[in-house]
Amino acid sequence: MKTEKLDIVLRANQLMDRLVGWRRDFHRFPELSFQEKRTSEKVGEILESFHTYEIEKNVGGYGIVATVSHGEGPVVGIRADMDALPITETTGVPWASHNPGVMHACGHDAHMAILLGVAQLLAEDAKAGRFQGTIKLIFQPAEESCDAAGETGAIKMLESGRLHTDAVLSLHMCPWRKSGEIQWNDGPSMANNDEFHLKIQGSGGHAGYPQHVKDPIWMATYVLQALYSLNGRKVNP
């Protein structure tokens, strides 16, 4: 499918330099889940420069919700995540991570830059009266990890009561696609990961009397094999 060079496409193409600059800035200063303070401040600063949005900060942590309305219509959310991963970057590019052991290795820097580009286009459309309804731009913290309560940033933002919408749009980078291509799936996509802990309890004893020992290491080897056989080896994850 080929998109015609409509006005929105031309305007989007004109944002390329800004998008690259935003993305590389986020990439230089990645922050882990629940630590996205600098990232959130940068996003808020850019959103404020459009002089269009009602901006709510620190939603569910360092999350941001920026709202613009024009007339009656549906309420649509557009979402991007903000956190990075505990990975050491070795790319050597000029915009490589300045934070040791932390890297935007999952594309969230690009997600934020894209949503900020959408924010600029929507600000222009709102001022020109080119859409009807309400748009909520959602910048979500802590997508990669959960806290001690087992909650991610998505849960905390939902519990804030600030995300009442009729629909929510999102995206994810696809490094296996060519630049300019879009992939979509009919049905569930991009499965979520959860964290859990197992405790295997046994009892120690003398090495000369193993029959009297409930060896947790021996038990753990069987548990590990069983879990590994499920994830991607017998069941499509």
76, 165: one domain: yes
70, two tokens: 């024009």
| Predicted model pTM | 0.84
137, 215: one domain: no
What number of other Cβ atoms are within 10 A of residue 145's Cβ? 15
Residue 189 forms part of a structural domain: no
Domain that holds residue 210: 198-237
Number of domains in the chain: 2
64, 141: one domain: yes
Residue 183 forms part of a structural domain: no
Residue 142 forms part of a structural domain: yes
Report the pLDDT averaged over residues 205-231. Answer: 90
Give residue 5's pLDDT. Answer: 55
Q: In what order do the strands lie in the sheet with 133-140?
A: 54-59, 63-70, 133-140, 75-81, 167-169
160, 235: one domain: no
107, 164: one domain: yes
* 19-73 confidence digits (pLDDT tens): 999 999 999 999 999 999 999 999 999 999 999 999 999 999 999 999 999 989 9
164, 202: one domain: no
Mean pLDDT of the chain: 92
* 148-160 confidence digits (pLDDT tens): 888 999 999 999 9
Residue 40 forms part of a structural domain: yes
Residue 180 forms part of a structural domain: no
Residue 187 forms part of a structural domain: no
Report the pLDDT averaged over residues 72-85. Answer: 97
What number of other Cβ atoms are within 10 A of residue 89's Cβ? 21
% the chain with pLDDT above 70: 94
39, 86: one domain: yes
Give residue 201's pLDDT. Answer: 95
Residue 191 forms part of a structural domain: no
106, two tokens: 């999952």
Residue 2 forms part of a structural domain: no
70, 159: one domain: yes
Give residue 190's pLDDT. Answer: 73
Task: Name the nearest CA neighbour of 64 among 124, 151, 116, 141.
Answer: 141
* 170-191 confidence digits (pLDDT tens): 999 988 899 889 888 888 777 6
